[in-house]
């Protein structure tokens, strides 16, 4: 535990990739950008923390990282396909965690929606603060 923060645990669907977060988690942001939609199959609901507070256990080497563009990388489980993490290459000290992989109770809330101008036409968004971001 770091600074009195309650550790949070999570995993992919098959359980091959697990993790513990020992640092503060940001509230959840729903990102509607095209990359996040395609990575998650909908909008990407993610929290974030400091890299040093995330301990990943991947004994079978199942976590795969890929970079569809230079400024961002995404990680998924190569066995079950679960979307797990993403990180901006320009912010190496932070990592985002797909909120659905965190074991409840998470203690988190959804705070904002980002890149709403790229949201798919089928999706109606709840009343959250929104950012077009570009």
Q: What strand order describes the sheet that includes 130-131?
A: 63-69, 72-77, 83-88, 94-98, 44-50, 28-31, 110-114, 130-131
What is the model's pLDDT at position 2?
A: 45
- 54-73, pLDDT tens digit by residue? 999 999 999 999 998 889 99
Give CA separation, 4 vs 14, 18, 22, 27, 70, in Å: 30, 22, 9, 17, 36
**Which residues are registered as beta bridge partners of 96?**
48, 86
Global confidence as pTM: 0.87
pLDDT band at 10 (very low <50, low <70, confident <90, very high): very high
- 112-128, pLDDT tens digit by residue? 888 888 888 877 766 66
């Amino acid at each position: 535990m770091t600074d009195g923060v309650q550790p949070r645990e999570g995993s992919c669907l098959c359980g091959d990739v697990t993790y513990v977060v020992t640092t503060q988690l940001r509230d959840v942001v729903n990102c509607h950008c095209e990359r996040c939609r395609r990575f998650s199959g909908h909008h990407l609901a993610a929290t974030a923390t400091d890299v040093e507070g995330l301990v990943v256990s991947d004994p079978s080497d199942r976590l795969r990282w890929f970079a569809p563009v230079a400024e961002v990388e995404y990680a998924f489980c190569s066995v079950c396909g679960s979307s797990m993490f993403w990180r901006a290459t320009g912010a190496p000290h932070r990592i985002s965690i797909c909120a659905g992989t965190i074991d409840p109770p998470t203690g988190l809330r959804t705070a904002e929606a980002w890149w709403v101008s790229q949201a798919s036409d089928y999706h109606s968004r709840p009343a959250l603060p929104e950012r077009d971001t570009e």
